[in-house]
Amino acid sequence: MRDVAVIGVGMNKWGELWETSLRDLIAQSALMALDDAGIEEVEAMYIGCMSSGLFTDQEHLGSMGPDYSGICPVPGTRVESACASGGAAFRSAYMHVASGMADIVMAAGVEKMTDVDGGGATFALATAADQEYEVYNGVTFPGLYAMMANHHMKKYGTTRDQLAQVSVKNHYNGAKNSLAQFRMEVSLDQVKNAVMVSDPLTLLDCSPITDGSAAVILCSMDKAKSLTKKRLVKVIGSGHASDTIQLAQREDLSSLKSTAIAAKQALDMAGRKINDINFAEVHDCFSIAEIMVIEALGIAAQGKGGPATADGTTAMTGKFPVNVSGGLKSKGHPVGATGVAQIVELTKQIRGEADKDRQLKKADIGLAQNMGGSGASSVVHILEGM
């Protein structure tokens, strides 16, 4: 395997984009990434997308991606692992370059979610769970995470306020993100008093429905040095693991084993410990998810994710900033784009190109964690500035 760098990143402004089609969403971020890298051609394209079929009746992004990005006849491959599709697409592109099969490959991610109504979106998202043994019985995605939350609260004493602190923090950060869907701060009381979706999670514990895309260009390190003048961002760790598709069949309902395994793989590959990492973008699809993820990554001890959030450890100015972008909660969660957008954020932070009032002072090594379903698949990457 050879060294690989991220040399270009692109992400459109996320939101309810009525006027933008699936095809244009892909192309917008793809072109931004190409422009950022200062190149016009790649040798392959991966597209992370959970369910363009259910959201827009459109499959075959392996053609539509390259076609509308103006790079035919470059081969396109759609990668699907529910909400971890973007992270898995990035890993596929990384392996493609690291293997030596190509020098320059694009990883894109997209989801066009607002062409269906709320019921349609709930149905499409629920396909990430076990249809016959979870969805059939009337559970929703917020419901699955709500059950993890109640279990975590009972087992470790995690509080309703600590859950809300995740949303408060991420909205504070996202309000400063020029590309975020919901650029507004929320208070603890607003989160707790918002409409109840699935006890104990309110609407403001849940990530939103979003149209959006993101794209990055990966390049062999040797070639990257001659192509770009920007700070090179090297992929130093990559991990990927699965767990049972049913939440009920997990060893422990209060921990995310697939994330812990993927993180260990990525850290071992990088030869680093979690405390060597400066900041992280993690999969806060629900407030409880961020608490469980920071425990699985080792940022907080098992059961201490709530206190670590409440005491400011993971705040922008804390010891280990988490989701300085605003996370899925505030930035938005166009499912297949999320994992790629995390790489965009890591790269911009490491290059010193993030929005001014949320650029971290020390951002040399960042970690991205992207998760599918109720934690049934996880992808972790570690990037370092050269």
Partner 1 sequence: MSAPKYWREIPQRYRFEAAKCKKCGKVSFPPRIVCPECRSREFENTRINDKGTVETYTVIRVAPTQFTDEAPYPVAIVDVGDGVRVLCQVADCGPEEIKIGMSVRLEFRKVQQEGHGGIINYGYKCVPE
Q: If DSSP codes are grouped into helix, strand and coil, which group holds residue 1?
A: coil
Q: State the Cα–Cα distance between residues 60 and 76, nearest whole angstrom.
A: 9
- Nearest distance, CB of residue 250 and partner 1, angstroms: 9
Pick between residue 5 and residue 124 the one whose CB is nearest to partner 1. Answer: 124
Instruction: Report whether 61 contacts 110 (CB < 8 A).
Output: yes
Tell which one of 249, 275, 301, 357 touches partner 1 (CB under 8 A). Answer: 249
Structure tokens, 197: 């979706």
Shortest Å, Cβ 247 to partner 1: 7
Site for partner 1 in 174-203 (CB under 8 A): 195-201
Is position 54 an interface residue for partner 1 (rule: CB under 8 A)? no
> Which of 195, 317 has the CB closer to partner 1?
195
Question: Least Å distance between CB 182 and partner 1?
Answer: 18
For tokens 């998202």, name the residue. Answer: 125
d(CA 180, CA 324): 11
- Type of residue numbered 139: V
Residue with smaller CB distance to partner 1, 256 or 277: 256
Q: Give the residue, chosen from 39, 253, 269, 274, that forms a contact with partner 1 under the rule CB under 8 A.
A: 253
If you compute the radius of gyration of the chain from its CA atoms, what whole number of angstroms results?
19
CA nearest neighbour of 11 among 38, 37, 30, 34: 30
CB closer to partner 1, 88 vs 126: 126
Measured in whole angstroms, the distance separating CA 362 from the mean position of its chain's CA atoms is 21
Find the binding residues for partner 1 in span 99-158 (CB under 8 A): 119, 122-123, 126, 132-140, 142-143, 146-151, 154
How many angstroms separate the CA atoms of 349 and 190, rounded? 30
92's CB contacts (< 8 A; 6+ apart) are: 46, 77, 79, 107
Least distance to partner 1 from the beta carbon of 125, Å? Answer: 10
Q: Which of residues 354-373 bind partner 1 (CB under 8 A)?
A: none
Applying CB under 8 A, the site for partner 1 has a residue count of 35
Enclosing H/E stretch for 99 = none
What are the residue numbers of the active site? 83, 333
Q: How far is the CB of 147 from partner 1 (least distance, A)?
A: 4
Question: Residue 14 corresponds to which tokens in the numbers above?
Answer: 């996320």
Binding mask 60-99 for partner 1 (x = CB under 8 A): ----------------------------------------
Among residues 63, 246, 302, 359, the one that binds partner 1 under rule CB under 8 A: 246
CB of residue 111 to partner 1, shortest distance in Å: 19
Q: Which two tokens stand for residue 294?
A: 């920071």
Our CA dihedral for 19, 11, 112, 205, rounded to 10 degrees, sits at -110
Identity of the residue, 201 or 285, whose beta carbon is nearer to partner 1 in the bound complex? 201
- The sign of the torsion formed by the CA atoms of 245, 246, 250, 255 equals positive
Pairing of strands 44-48, 104-111: parallel
Report the interface residues with partner 1, using CB under 8 A: 119, 122-123, 126, 132-140, 142-143, 146-151, 154, 195-201, 244, 246-249, 253
